[in-house]
Structure 1
Amino acid sequence: MVPPPTATTPAPTIAPLRVVDRDGHTQFVDRHVGADREAQKFMLDTLGFDDLGALADAAVPAAIRQDVGLDLPAGLSETEVLERLRLLAAKNVRMVQMIGQGYYGTVTPGVIQRNVLESPAWYTAYTPYQPEISQGRLEALLNFQTVVSDLTALPVANASLLDEASAVAEAVLLMRRSNKAVPDGVIVLDAELLPQSIAVVQGRADALGLDVVVADLDAGLPHRDITGLVLQQPGTSGRVRDQSGVIADAHARGAMVTVAADLLALTLITPPGEQGADIAVGSAQRLGVPLFYGGPHAAYMAVRQGLERALPGRLVGVSRDALGATAYRLALQTREQHIRRERATSNICTAQALLAIVAGFYAVYHGPEGLRRIAQHGHDAARTLAVALTGHGLELTADAFFDTLTVRVPARAHVVVAAAEAAGVNLRLVDGDHVGISCDETTTPPHLAAVVAAFTDRDPGAELAAPGERAFALPAGLVRDSEYLTHPVFHQYRSETQMLRYLRRLADRDLALDRTMIPLGSCTMKLNATTEMQAITWPELASIHPLAPDHQTVGWRRLIADLESWLATITGYDRVSIQPNAGSQGELAGLLAIRGYHRSRGEHRRTVCLIPASAHGTNAASAVLAGMRVVVVATAADGTIDQAHLAAKLTEHADELAAIMITYPSTHGVYDTDVREVCDAVHAAGGQVYVDGANLNALVGLAQPGRFGGDVSHLNLHKTFCIPHGGGGPGVGPVAVRAHLAPFLPGDPAGTGAWSDGGAPVAAARFGSAGVLPISWAYISLMGGDGLTTATASALLAANYLARRLDPYFPVLYTGESGLVAHECILDLRPLTAATGITAEDVAKRLIDFGFHAPTLAFPVPGTLMVEPTESEDLAELDRFIDAMIAVRAEIDQVAAGAFPAEDSPLRHAPHPATVVTATQWGRPYPREQAAFPLPALRRDKYFPPVARIDGAHGDRHLVCACPPVTDFA
């Protein structure tokens, strides 16, 4: 085994904290860090420290402190960073992208690009766990679910998954656990499935020991017991088939059936639900979401009745509030797969919410007739090509297609593709004898002419007349005749004025980071600077196809190489892969790397993963999906790992130990002093150490997990490195490893169905959600090594200031040996609950009346609130939150004193929408003013939630997950 760094090595010298001189707002760090020099001095005085360096020295154990500063380029100005991004973007070659394979040209309507994709009201919102302040984004996600359900003709759709390939893998797992008739049969994958989907499924199946077969279904189903079948419509060749027969055959043999379907094609083609499918999955990318060099793109999953409670990911449902009004929430919320820990069947935690919202609004803007017109445009363009090419004697592999052709050109494929590239068009090189062409919304007659010329060496001229009505038309039995998108929302926003006001109205119902501090522990919500966001929609970056040849993507790959190198430097690891498109996928990739490493050494028996009881729920779920057996390690009273229990488990599982997963700083918001000892003990037992990077915002510049004992970590770029949360995604979860694990990092999913250059891929695209990587590249470039260290120390300062101020009112549950916390703290409400009946949830809902998003509720300790203020909040905002919490404590004291009972208190009735406080009848034992304006400052700037407290149980009992009728809002 590669020797890890150990505690027997002399403790490193602590590097002096090199903070940026914050003077005169001349550097970007002054914009990113909220508290200026004077405010920081006040906060330090409150804590009893002279400077940030002294605070960091007291908080972070000396045994893990790095001995040198970060070897990164010096921070640049915002102008310089944008100039460098322009230079990188210019190295990419913009082409007409006709490669297809799940990625298509599309037009993002300007009103949606400017007012959603580029609007902080939408991109800085958090996951809608607090539904009362999330009604806008929940309605937008419900629109998306309705689009998916209508187009697939399946009754229940989720609020997005990560990408099409991993969605197919989730469908395979769903069929495996839901099929009671044939639970242990083979999974059959249609040979027409997208290659990246096949690769991702094969990687998941290998870890879980599932039997997967890729089959040409023209020869019929394999003569084996079949648990599940996955079809593609249209197929990777472009071929469209009537799949009702093979679906019926599979059902007759006890199998379940998934169809990976193109949503836009389903406006013209008979949908999976009408052909008998149990599940439909796919991508919503072509509904207005840019190519983004592979992502982020919202995937979807829809299921037949009876499978909704097995659905992975998030599900937006319709419920009612305390006044009986219709309201939205995440349905079956505690069913989220990752919460079930080692019993999990999926590790999905995040989604692609922002991109699902864009896709949903695209459908709202265009309506059913507009979507059908766009689909017909692509279909007619492909038909035009088919007539022209066959007229020149060329042969197509299929006569029935939607928008993609595969053309036989024996031994000429490379020549044709090169000729098209010379004319500015990218085609798909299938093999030496076949070329693929995909048309889309952006295809024009000159594009078609260039393609015909590349195949024939002739100017087509007038040959490209529109095809006749029957030429290459869809077979009559496959033409959709059912209605879709009949809800009024898809018919009433046709003008830009109407659409603009609809977007604004929904945004105004929400609380996002552009309005208020979001003090969520474990989910860092800090500044997403405009300069960092600016490049993501530049066409030189956003219009690049993920399968474009490398010589056209030099700028993208240089940016990615920079970012991977910088992240390796920051974490102290040797290699980084940015393929994982969520933190949960980064966890999975890291554990698969550990699995691959053990197996390469012949240690197949090493399958046990130790996980502390306090760990993030996705840890256990990811371990299960990596084929590991979870063994829980107890937590001591002080929140640290129970060393005696750990030692016992190491002894018990010495010969089968694969890894331990730890979070550092711990999930309890503390720098445990024994982390090196834990790492050494696991290494001595032959295991690997996985350090969850969720709390890396407390380490950057101060300590490196790759140096204090970690073998692998995933990082959350959507937390520490400023990619915004977008209402629940996009995220990026890079995986960083020491050198001995590098050969097992995720491989390239593109190819002939088997991955290459590494381990199993975890995402559809080689570089995952590349489209949002310029955000983190810009953040690191702006801050430089010293600026990043300043941010970390400033995050410690904000958290400890808040903890010190609030501790007399809500005791801080855990602190380190120095009496300090890390970047977050847990406020213990359990004694107050026992004395008064007021719960942590009551406090969370009451904070809405003060204009705050609640802290993290009941995690990692039930009955508590976990608070993370971040370095980006200024002193005034921190004090505003502290004042709100003190006012809440005063109301709890009123309950304790008998001023009003808990069940009739402002806390239990919270939040208070304007309809409540302005009603003619009041009848509550506290005044309206206390309900609406519990602090005087709220009279200047008041957010009124659109609904009262939502009845979650009602929504779960009466599950409705599509747009309700307008009469519900009368």
Structure 2
Amino acid sequence: MNQTLSQLEHPQTFVQRHIGPSPAQQQQMLDAVAATSLDALIEQIVPANIQLPTPPATGEATTEHQALAELKAIAAKNQRYKSYIGMGYSPVLTPPVILRNLLENPSWYTAYTPYQPEISQGRLEALLNFQTVTLDLTGLDLASASLLDEATAAAEAMALAKRASKLKQANRFFVADDLHPQTLDVVRTRAETFGFELIIDKPAKALETEGVFGVLLQQAGSSGELHDYSALLQQLKQRNIISCMAADIMALVLLTAPGQYGADVVFGSAQRFGVPMGYGGPHAAFFACRDEFKRSMPGRIIGLSRDAAGNPALRMAMQTREQHIRREKANSNICTSQVLLANIAGLYAVYHGPQGLRRIAQRIHRLTDILATALQQAGLKLRHQTWFDTLCVEVNDKAATLARATAQGINLRSDLQHAVGITLDETTRSEDIQTLFALLVADDHNTATTLPLDIAALDNTLSQHSSSIPANMWRKAPILTHPVFNRYHSETEMMRYMHRLVRKDLALNQAMIPLGSCTMKLNAAAEMLPITWPEFADLHPFCPPEQAAGYQQMIAQLADWLAKLTGYDAMCMQPNSGAQGEYAGLLAIRRYHQSRGQGNRHICLIPSSAHGTNPASAQMAGMSIVVVGCDKEGNIDLDDLHHKAQQAGDALSCIMVTYPSTHGVYEETIRSACEIVHQFGGQVYLDGANMNAQVGITTPGYIGADVSHLNLHKTFCIPHGGGGPGMGPIGVKAHLAPFVPGHCVVNIEGVLTQQGAVSAAPFGSASILPISWMYIRMMGAEGLKQASQVAILNANYIACRLKDAYPVLYTGRDHRVAHECILDIRPLKEQSGISEMDIAKRLIDYGFHAPTMSFPVAGTLMIEPTESESKVELDRFIAAMLAIRAEIARVEAGEWPLQDNPLVNAPHTQAELVEQWQHPYSRELAAFPVRELRDNKYWPSVKRLDDVYGDRNLFCACAPISDYS
């Protein structure tokens, strides 16, 4: 059929690319669930009194290329000055082999947190590399698999010191006065909610201060001075005071490991190991401590264990420390680490190896020595006599010096009194030293020195053993001696190593990841492209705001869209994880009550069905948790809520509620719950984890909530990256807007408050915000609503198709579910002995990641298909679940013994198929339970892991290479 030119020119919008089921497939699924249309289905599920008449006005949908062109024009407004600001952030040279094969590779960035270790061995090995780097450089016993950023790592170190302290009556935490200001800002915020008294002074005063349980030092002070704290650390240890030290990861390549001379906890940012500045993040923090503190350590730890065949295998160790299990007793509310960025940093160390890292660090230090010598010879005074890469240069006319720098496209650190700061990095070249020297020694008439700077001559006259690093601070012990850091130095070898790791993992680029509560949806290539644009990647977070005009515009637009989509009046874009967003939202509530003279309001009501991060965050915010019961249908018990709210009275601070509920249904009484809490003077915190069932249909603000966080790495398409990055901005009603986090370094009128920060950078992990900008821009208002509708349709289709084989635990009106459903495996286990764990592991043989196990109810599987999965993929998953149910029936019938069947032995590896086979089922059934797998089979590299062995034999560094042979 001929079409007109106007018809042919009508572009295909991104909506049709993002939403998996075609219109025809959607109709087939609607028929299966007995609904006439998407709108009719939503009418049956979502309470009428919270449905929006029209979706929020976020604009029309556009194509990928149109959105990319628009964002490119915005990005062009950023000015890429050479930044020597330092303060924990430096320009880097990301090895292209890592950029292309990891950061831009969906095999890495679409992976989920490795709770299923059998299908995560590749990224677990990469994380173990990162932990080994941390252990070697810090000289301590135990390392985590990354934290959110350096400042929050400092706050976690303080919390660990209090938990582990033997001085139970002590309540003071001492902080050295040359800590990075943004780190102090976050530590101060956390100390306030914990009720700690902060003492900020010269480090030597720590020994003179009574009631101190911990001390925080910075090995290389914020203005560059290196500190030999060995004597102080020994004295602190004698007094049972726990010592925490911030360190620069590149400096540690040359400096003695702090753990060797007494530090108990060492942390810092791994950004300098190949991760772009990105206007503040995401950047992985490294964190290490002594073995005696392992039960108090925050974050995730990767450990070496063994599988069912006795072979070495990796897993997340000591998972019982995590907040979803320990709730308010958890060490931290961290649910998002920075896995993708930790893997970049770890593989940067693998690629360069110990010699390469030493060469980079020595070159940075040598250039710093050369510049320092030249400046001193020219008559300028340096404030310190020791340094690694940072000079504090005293100048007569600071304004003129900064003006000259700006005129040459250079940023110097400007917040030092009567001085400027200069931090060099791996991108610095000899000509940059010439430029810096000239602008610093220019006279009052802005005329550069007439003396040429002979860098080669200066280099030759300097001692080969720099005195700017104290003699006893030079590292003597070798680093990174494990073979993994000494083999893959050619690009060919590195490329193959990374590919070998990828082959061990199952990510979203291979199959549906049907995890309930985690929203593993499409991370489109068009959304991901802008994060590596240099206009976004190369900016320092503390550059002058006018240099980040593109960022400001993009962030403002995104914040405006998110405010509309949530029904709130303002957005705070700082929190760099969902859990951090919860904490920030609760802080806003706390500060609001205090501003009204009601600082006594401290009780947080939390339904028993809530996410584990909720009580953990409330505890971190200094609140007391009171649990509200749920009825047999999983809904909040309104009578119990009214009773608990009335009982709390003037002490009621807030309620934290998830909507749709954690049980996967739209509670009909959500507005009533909000009204009860407001009636008694409390605020309503609505957890944004399940926003993928709200966008375009309803909003937290319309429902009646006062504050919510958004998991941009769930609903708004930022990828999980194997367990991070994430972003958790908070939306607030107008009365809470003055109380959201601000920043002490960057001040942007009308954008940032004067309140304490929760993250190191003013806009958290700013460089991944373009992903969500692209998603909203390409989807448009109607597309976003349709995405929510199809997510709900997909979940109901799965529930409908599986309900006869597996009971659906909770349903709402008309036996419908929201965007996820919970299958109850407990009756099956009673009948057959087969558990939810066995089903989860058997799904690996079918080529699927397991649903969420035993959350929020033990003995269940929680499934969330998202809108991105096509009917073909949904049917493939349903077929796998039905086939597994038939296998369970064969166990029930006695055809296979409970101790030896394809479920309890799952997953099956390729290697065991060539071994002697003694099972009562065939090799074919083990490996190819459905015919389609013959064409596209994922092979796990290990069998089921022995979790108990891994915890009893905790080993968290790279194992001897013989263990892998």
The question of whether the paired residues in 1 share the 8 Å contact of 2:394 and 2:420 is answered with yes
Matches within 5 A, 1:536-575: 536-575=531-570
- 1:193 paired to 2:179: yes
Q: In the alignment, which residue of structure 1 is the partner of 2:3? A: none
**Equivalents in 2 of 1:222, 1:231: separation in Å?**
16
- 1:504 paired to 2:489: no
- 1:96 paired to 2:92: no
Matches within 5 A, 1:125-524: 125-181=111-167, 183-218=169-204, 221-410=207-396, 412-457=397-442, 458-459=448-449, 461-465=452-456, 466-467=458-459, 468-469=462-463, 472-524=467-519
**Equivalents in 2 of 1:480, 1:193: separation in Å?**
23
Deviation at 1:220? 5.8
For residue 59 of structure 1, the aligned residue among 27, 42, 45 is: 45
TM-score by length of structure 2 reads 0.97
Deviation at 1:345? 3.1
The question of whether the paired residues in 2 share the 8 Å contact of 1:576 and 1:737 is answered with yes
The question of whether the paired residues in 2 share the 8 Å contact of 1:517 and 1:853 is answered with yes
Query: C-alpha deviations, 1:357-408, integer Å up to 9, x for none?
Result: 0000000000011111111111111111101111111111111100000111
- 1:797 paired to 2:788: no
Q: Where in structure 1 are there 5+ consecutive unaligned residues?
A: 1-20
CA shift in 2, pair 1:449/1:948, >3 Å: same
Deviation at 1:23? 14
Q: In the alignment, which residue of structure 2 is the partner of 1:41? A: 27
342-351 vs 482-491, greater mean Cα deviation: 342-351
Q: How many residues were matched structurally?
A: 946
Q: In the alignment, which residue of structure 2 is the partner of 1:71? A: 57
Query: C-alpha deviations, 1:687-707, integer Å up to 9, x for none?
Result: 000000000000000001111
91-100 vs 755-764, greater mean Cα deviation: 755-764
Query: C-alpha deviations, 1:536-573, integer Å up to 9, x for none?
Result: 01111100000000111000111000111100000000
Q: Where in structure 2 are there 5+ consecutive unaligned residues?
A: 1-6, 443-447
Q: In the alignment, which residue of structure 1 is the partner of 2:591? A: 596
2:734 alignment partner AA:
A
Deviation at 1:24? 10
CA shift in 2, pair 1:510/1:25, >3 Å: farther
**Equivalents in 1 of 2:49, 2:566: separation in Å?**
16
Deviation at 1:948? 0.4
- 1:85 paired to 2:63: no
The question of whether the paired residues in 1 share the 8 Å contact of 2:278 and 2:538 is answered with yes
The question of whether the paired residues in 2 share the 8 Å contact of 1:749 and 1:765 is answered with no
- 1:881 paired to 2:872: no
**Equivalents in 1 of 2:824, 2:129: separation in Å?**
38
SS at match of 1:107: coil
Q: In the alignment, which residue of structure 2 is the partner of 1:957? A: 952
Q: In the alignment, which residue of structure 1 is the partner of 2:621? A: 626
Deviation at 1:218? 5.0
1:642 alignment partner AA:
D
Over the residues paired in the alignment, what is the CA RMSD in angstroms? 1.6
SS at match of 1:87: helix
For residue 886 of structure 2, the aligned residue among 881, 887, 890 is: 890
23-32 vs 371-380, greater mean Cα deviation: 23-32
- 1:527 paired to 2:518: no
The question of whether the paired residues in 1 share the 8 Å contact of 2:628 and 2:641 is answered with yes
CA shift in 2, pair 1:874/1:83, >3 Å: same
Percent identity (aligned): 53
SS at match of 2:246: strand
TM-score by length of structure 1 reads 0.96
Q: In the alignment, which residue of structure 2 is the partner of 1:658? A: 653
**Equivalents in 2 of 1:756, 1:815: separation in Å?**
42
Query: C-alpha deviations, 1:67-126, integer Å up to 9, x for none?
Result: 222211211111111111111111000111111000001111000000000000000000
SS at match of 2:292: coil
SS at match of 1:127: coil
Q: In the alignment, which residue of structure 1 is the partner of 2:783? A: 787
Deviation at 1:870? 0.5
Query: C-alpha deviations, 1:271-329, integer Å up to 9, x for none?
Result: 11011000001100000000010000000110012111211110000000000100000
Deviation at 1:339? 2.6
Q: In the alignment, which residue of structure 2 is the partner of 1:743? A: 738
2:403 alignment partner AA:
A
Deviation at 1:414? 2.2
**Equivalents in 2 of 1:119, 1:823: separation in Å?**
28
SS at match of 1:796: helix
Deviation at 1:22? 15
1:887 alignment partner AA:
A
Deviation at 1:480? 0.7
SS at match of 2:517: coil
- 1:855 paired to 2:860: no
Query: C-alpha deviations, 1:434-454, integer Å up to 9, x for none?
Result: 100000100011211111111
1:318 alignment partner AA:
L
**Equivalents in 1 of 2:29, 2:752: separation in Å?**
53
Deviation at 1:918? 2.1
**Equivalents in 1 of 2:323, 2:58: separation in Å?**
39
Query: C-alpha deviations, 1:315-363, integer Å up to 9, x for none?
Result: 0000000001000000001112453112223111110000000000000
**Equivalents in 2 of 1:25, 1:848: separation in Å?**
39
SS at match of 2:91: coil
CA shift in 2, pair 1:219/1:865, >3 Å: closer
**Equivalents in 1 of 2:510, 2:887: separation in Å?**
25
**Equivalents in 1 of 2:543, 2:285: separation in Å?**
21
The question of whether the paired residues in 2 share the 8 Å contact of 1:135 and 1:328 is answered with yes
The question of whether the paired residues in 1 share the 8 Å contact of 2:44 and 2:813 is answered with no
Deviation at 1:796? 0.7
The question of whether the paired residues in 2 share the 8 Å contact of 1:425 and 1:450 is answered with no
Matches within 5 A, 1:654-733: 654-733=649-728
2:440 alignment partner AA:
F
The question of whether the paired residues in 1 share the 8 Å contact of 2:321 and 2:330 is answered with no
SS at match of 1:911: coil
CA shift in 2, pair 1:825/1:838, >3 Å: same
1:793 alignment partner AA:
Q
**Equivalents in 1 of 2:813, 2:323: separation in Å?**
35
2:945 alignment partner AA:
I
Deviation at 1:757? 2.4
300-309 vs 434-443, greater mean Cα deviation: 300-309
**Equivalents in 2 of 1:339, 1:559: separation in Å?**
38
The question of whether the paired residues in 1 share the 8 Å contact of 2:321 and 2:331 is answered with no
The question of whether the paired residues in 1 share the 8 Å contact of 2:297 and 2:331 is answered with no
Deviation at 1:911? 0.1
Q: In the alignment, which residue of structure 2 is the partner of 1:928? A: 923
Deviation at 1:182? 5.0
**Equivalents in 2 of 1:744, 1:415: separation in Å?**
37
**Equivalents in 1 of 2:402, 2:354: separation in Å?**
35
Deviation at 1:491? 0.3
**Equivalents in 2 of 1:373, 1:184: separation in Å?**
44
SS at match of 2:414: strand
Query: C-alpha deviations, 1:669-697, integer Å up to 9, x for none?
Result: 10000000000000001100000000000
CA shift in 2, pair 1:786/1:902, >3 Å: same
For residue 865 of structure 2, the aligned residue among 869, 874, 877 is: 869
1:327 alignment partner AA:
A
SS at match of 1:959: coil
Deviation at 1:746? 0.5
The question of whether the paired residues in 2 share the 8 Å contact of 1:182 and 1:226 is answered with no
**Equivalents in 1 of 2:567, 2:754: separation in Å?**
21
**Equivalents in 2 of 1:701, 1:337: separation in Å?**
31
Query: C-alpha deviations, 1:246-277, integer Å up to 9, x for none?
Result: 11222222211001001110111111101100
**Equivalents in 1 of 2:466, 2:910: separation in Å?**
60
